[in-house]
Amino acid sequence: MQAKSIPPNNFTFPPLLKACGSLSNLPTTKQIHSHIFLHGLIFDKFISSALIDAYGKSDSPTNASQVFDELPQQIVDVVSWTSLISSFSLNGFLNEAFESFAKMKRSDDPECRKGDVVCLSALVSACVVVSNDLNCLTNGKSVHALVIKNGFEWNVRLGNSFIHMYSVFKAVDEAVRVFDEIPIERRDAVSWNSLISGLVINSEPKRALSIFDQMTSLGSVGVAPNRVTMVAVLKSCAELGCSETSKRIHDYIFCHHYSLLSSNDIVVLTALIDMHCKCGNLELARRIFDGVKGRNVICWSAMIAGYEQNLYPEEALRLFSKMLEEEDNEGVQVKPNEVTILSVISACSGLGASRPGRVIHKYILATGLDYDARISSALIDMYAKCGDLELARWVFNEMDDSRKTVISWSSMIGAEGLHGEGRRALHLLSEMENHGFQPNEVTFVSILSACSHAGLLEEGKSCFDRMARDHGISPTVKHYSCMVDLLGRAGRLDEAHGLILSMPFEADLAVWGSLLAGCSLHKNFELGELVGKKILSLDSSSVGHRVLLANMYEDAGRWDDVLRMRVELRKKGLRKIAGQSFIEIGKEVFSFIAEDRSHHKWKMIYNELDALDDRVRNETNTKVEEDEVEEIITRCKYHSERLAIAFGLMMRSSSISSISTSSSRAKRNNGSKEIELLPIRIMKNLRVCRDCHVYTKLVSKVAKIELIVRDTNRFHHFKDGVCSCGDYW
């Protein structure tokens, strides 16, 4: 047009400015502004309003305000004011938006005093942009009152805006009320989607699904669900975690919205995968995943997280390796993001194997993802749970102070506590506060647990008191559970029981279970029986607590009660969880159960265990010790952790095995080499029994090897006949 010397007119610039606003292109907007000025069209009210709007959408409300201020009063109308208010609203200038609205209300123009739908919607949007300020909700309610006063309450666009605003401010009932006030025949897809999405973000999945059912039951009177609806509904199902509901929604999509699946809509398919994973339908999720073409990082992350959350860490790691070899729809290699890495680290934690964790750590360092404090905190937690406390400390110490967060400090405190380093955990808490960080609920769970594992009674009680007094944190059921555990381990059973009775809410199974464990430890059978009955009244299907109660009866010689408990278990079809121990050998993780003969070298493992028993016997010095050791050896002869220890020692010394854990650190001492063997690490899914605990101490002494055993409570570091827990666990 310019090349042909055709002069622009007042119809030329509004569409150009609209395009600039859509692209958020500030430089081009300024160039067009210059052309408008040169052609003397700056005071055309349609062009000026379009220019104000373009500046607002190009992130420049200051320029928008300047254009507005230069306009002659006679051409300023409700459209001009609306463009200015929208510019401020879009960019989060809430005060300026409302000040402009107040000025507009004082205008001589009756249309301006009333405002219009677009202007009022812009004000509602401004409140949502800065939703972290609760004063904005008050402003939003004022706008709502004005809408009703001026007779706009039946406007669907405004109604939808208020549904969204109230949802963002967690005023769910208000959002539902606005929705209900919109006549059914006037509700559009945005109305339904706004309410369903609002309920989802406010963690009310049942209500969201109920609204969806209403939407689909209206027939010709209602509105058909669309892509946005289905994504919100899938998120609701995922949060609800109900397998039956997820299958119902899955069938609905296949019947009514198959085009979303056949068109390879990755957003919908990813939401579908995520839903099935969170509802436990992993096979179905994997089938859908395998059928997605050009999977992006979000799709991969959903499936990896699904395996990790459903306790299939090996599959999560296997899929992650495959992901690194794949390309998306555009032929670009898929790169994991922070969410992917967090799931993978968590999978390593669940596996309890440090080797894949170290490989992932190297990848994180190579790709620069270690800048993310969440990832560093997850690494600390992962190394701690894999028994590598020194590596956890290294990760924490390598973090700049500016990158450390409350989560980082809490993770390190939890790591120290998990390994029985209660004093170190307390020192970290003090250091954390000195650096200006306020401990949160999670921090105090970690520190109280650390005190419990280390037997630091007074320190733990002091921390519990400080929660509310110094930090304004009301103890939750987890904090009370830690305190009951702390008091129970210390033998203060009556005090622990009194604490439970004084709780401001009902104690759960974890709290009563902690007291039952203390009663069992200190052989307080009377209180233990009382607590056991309370537990069974809360959960009659509890297996672990029944077994613990039966063991207490056995210690008390009450064999009739032991028999009664076992008969009850059998009648209810309840079975004790089988003890299982895991050991990492090379790149593989092997598992054992009691009296396991599934390993192809089981005979060699049993021979190794017999030889180990003989070495333990030979170390005893007195007849009393011989009798005690013999009982310990024979009573739990083939428990899973003993088989794992024997297998680890066998593989360490074997010269014919292709997989060996004989990695060593060479020390030079006067020209000779002294080989210091790395520890053998074992993970167990149950608490280590006392006999196996004593046995493992003896093995560490006679075999001159460090053994690190993780049970459900904590880590035990066995070395030279001593355990790091000090026999307090």
The domains located in the chain, with CATH, are: 475-576 (1.25.40.10), 583-654+676-723 (no CATH)
Distance CA 22, CA 3 (A): 25
Phi, psi dihedrals of residue 518, rounded to the nearest 5°: -65, -40
Please tell me the predicted confidence (pLDDT) of residue 350.
82
Phi, psi dihedrals of residue 665, rounded to the nearest 5°: -110, 125
Please tell me the predicted confidence (pLDDT) of residue 134.
64
For the segment 596-617, the average pLDDT, to the nearest whole number, is 92
Sign of torsion over alpha carbons 381, 383, 389, 391: negative
Confidence band (pLDDT; 50, 70, 90) for 662? very low
Whether residue 714 has pLDDT greater than 80: yes
Residue with tokens 């993001």: 337
Distance CA 468, CA 518 (A): 26
Confidence band (pLDDT; 50, 70, 90) for 623? low
Sign of torsion over alpha carbons 666, 669, 674, 680: negative
Please tell me the predicted confidence (pLDDT) of residue 669.
43
Q: Is 406 exposed, middle or buried (0-12, 13-18, 19+ CB in 10 A)?
A: middle
Please tell me the predicted confidence (pLDDT) of residue 671.
42
- Which comes out higher in pLDDT, residue 9 or 54? 54
Distance CA 84, CA 57 (A): 11
Phi, psi dihedrals of residue 687, rounded to the nearest 5°: -70, 140
User: Which residues on adjacent β-strands are paired with residue 710?
Assistant: 683, 715
Distance CA 583, CA 581 (A): 7
Whether residue 356 has pLDDT greater than 70: yes
User: Which residues on adjacent β-strands are paired with residue 203?
Assistant: none
Confidence band (pLDDT; 50, 70, 90) for 131? low
Model confidence pLDDT, tens digit, residues 167-177: 999 999 999 99
Whether residue 194 has pLDDT greater than 90: yes
Angle formed by the axes of helices 117-129 and 78-90, to 10°?
10
| Angle subtended at Cα 391 by Cα 414 and Cα 349, rounded to the nearest 5 degrees | 60
In this structure, how many other beta carbons lie within 10 angstroms of the beta carbon of residue 400?
A: 8
Please tell me the predicted confidence (pLDDT) of residue 677.
62
Model confidence pLDDT, tens digit, residues 73-91: 888 888 888 899 889 888 8
Please tell me the predicted confidence (pLDDT) of residue 665.
42
DSSP string, 687-702: PPPHHHHHHHHHHHHH
For the segment 405-429, the average pLDDT, to the nearest whole number, is 94
3-state secondary structure 62-122: HHHHHHHHCCCHHHCCHHHHHHHHHHHHHCCCHHHHHHHHHHHHCCCCHHHHHCCHHHHHH
Gyration radius (Cα) of the chain, Å: 33
- Say what percent of the chain tops pLDDT 70: 94
Model confidence pLDDT, tens digit, residues 679-711: 888 988 888 888 899 999 999 999 999 999 988
CA distances from 503 to 450, 483, 489, 500 (A): 22, 12, 19, 5
Model confidence pLDDT, tens digit, residues 540-580: 777 878 888 888 888 888 888 888 888 888 887 777 777 88
Which residues have CB under 8 Å from 420's CB, separation 6+?
453, 454, 714, 715, 716, 717, 724, 725, 726, 729
Distance CA 609, CA 615 (A): 10
For the segment 146-151, the average pLDDT, to the nearest whole number, is 79
Pair 676, 685: CB distance under 8 Å:
no
Average the pLDDT over each of 339-348, 595-604, 622-631, 718-727 and give the range with the smallest value.
622-631
For the segment 343-357, the average pLDDT, to the nearest whole number, is 86
Whether residue 132 has pLDDT greater than 80: no
Please tell me the predicted confidence (pLDDT) of residue 657.
43
Can you give the pTM of this predicted structure? Answer: 0.77
CA distances from 668 to 671, 676, 679 (A): 6, 11, 20
Pair 223, 192: CB distance under 8 Å:
yes
Model confidence pLDDT, tens digit, residues 440-496: 999 999 999 999 988 899 999 999 999 999 999 999 999 999 999 999 999 999 999
